[in-house]
Structure 1
Amino acid sequence: MEYDLVIIGAGPSGLTAAIYAARYKLNTLVIGEQIGGLAAEAEEIHNFPSHKKITGIELIKKMREQVENLGVEIKNSYVNSIKKIDSQFLVKTSSTEYKAKKIILATGTKKRKLGLELEDKFLGKGISYCATCDAAFFKNKIVGVVGGSNSAITAALLLSKFANKVYIIYRKDKFFRAEPKLVEEVEKNEKIKLIFNSNVTELIGENKLEGVKLDNGDKLNLDGLFIEIGSVPNLKLAEELGIELEENYIKVDKKQRTNIRGVFACGDVTNSPLKQIIVACAQGAIAANSAYEELKGE
């Protein structure tokens, strides 16, 4: 099957690119392993225009419906490889091959791990990277959140609705990156205890998480630990194509072009300094426009 444009990634950036591509009458396909990406995991979004408050799942549902109403197909698949053959690209999933004149990489990021022994073993057995998904399983329990960003604080606030006690474990002496309004909410919440200048150095348990050790020697008995220490970009396809990186993100110009002609990138996988849904959407629109302009000139 041949397309004018194949978009890899179905988060806000990729879906927005698809909306614009459809309006430009480009024959477009979206392929995404996780529809919505990490944005779908957001419990509450307060800074997306036109919505005072909306969940990530609701926002992605609306975006997906808009894309599909415009006639763009979304494939829920993992892309194994992309190869440039002459002036086209061959996109391979586990079951199908697609040809594309242009590619948009909107592959996003994945949650960063602590890198501790037993972390993978305890996944789903006390360890989680998604409070929105798992908070309800910890009713009347004691849990910890590692991190100091907006996502960590939002996770703690959500968990406090279910758990008896929530520890926020942060390596610095105060919150530097989180929005003041969120910090204020946490500080007023009686269920949340802040532990600054501390790192989790060991996970404790046999068949499930039972607690953690901190670098100051303290031990916390926990039923769950939610890891919110940032994310890392999904770069496998970009690296295989030989795309230039900047500080381990895809380097793009103001038109979302990479160093490989015909390949554009948008969203959190790029070197944009502000990782926000609204920024990712804007980049998706620009990437689609740039792909259209390039096709028009050929």
Structure 2
Amino acid sequence: MPRSIWSGAISFGLVTIPVAVVPATEDHSVRFHQYHLEDMGRVRVRKYCEKEDREVPSEEIGKGYEVSRDQVVPVLDEELRELPLPTAKTIEIVAFVPAESIDPLRIGEGYYLQASGAVAAKPYALLRQALERTSKAAVAKFAWHGRERLGLLRVREEALVLHAMRWPDEIRDPGGLAPPEVRLSDDEITEAEHLIDRMTRDDLGGPDFADHYTEALAQVIEAKREGQAPPEVPEPEAGPGKVLDLMAALQESVARAKASRGEDTEAEVHELPRKKAAARTTARKAADTSAASGEKAAAKKAAKKASRRSTAKKTTRRPRTA
């Protein structure tokens, strides 16, 4: 586990939980330095003092705030650590919200919160289990790196995780980015739902979620180190021509998703959209009602004809004589 980068406490009502903040993620990116390509000499950025025209060592460098061109106020790291803020050494929980209600766009870097000492074990476990049972996340305020920040506390397995959050005014308005309004058929939406179903997974493991860029870059570096030519770019697989019809593209995508899972790629019967199915049911009922009405009308007409014949026979009979 990497070393702690901050220590303080979680303030949970009247409960205090001493914690240490530990990075929760790792960066495996390949790093490059700058070199002079003619002789491969290292190119460095040196820190010079403008007034003395000399290179300055790190221990002589500090922070300063420029009030004006002629006035700079020095600010020491010790002063930043002792800011008159309740959140300077405390992650102060200010609210609890449903975990799914937080816009992912507001969530930033994640850190593990490690209980500091035996005294923190019980309140730490209490907060973790309470968040887990209620499916809630805690919104907190804390001060890091020269500013007060919002944070999100959530549960990950047996640990508490703190995410830095962006303030509401740091999220740009997406207005004007959406395309003009378009009309979509029920069949197109239903087919898109089938594609989503085929591409749904329970985990994000496997070769589809590996960092192939870093792997390819490592191969290039290794080949050049051994004096060999870099690997050639593989030829892309031949695919069908550009599909202009949206429904055809969706159906082809569903077939490919099924094939990638080793499923049968024969055409499958999809359920009709609800509106169309309901319309067909209504039409069928109307047809049945019309047929029944026709049969009733024909029966009435036949009954009237029979009644007329019977009346005519009675009137043509001769009276009996004594």
TM range (shorter): under 0.3
Q: Which structure has the highest helix share of the two?
A: 2
Higher relative contact order (CA closer than 8 Å, sequence separation 6+): 1
TM-score, normalised relative to structure 2: 0.18
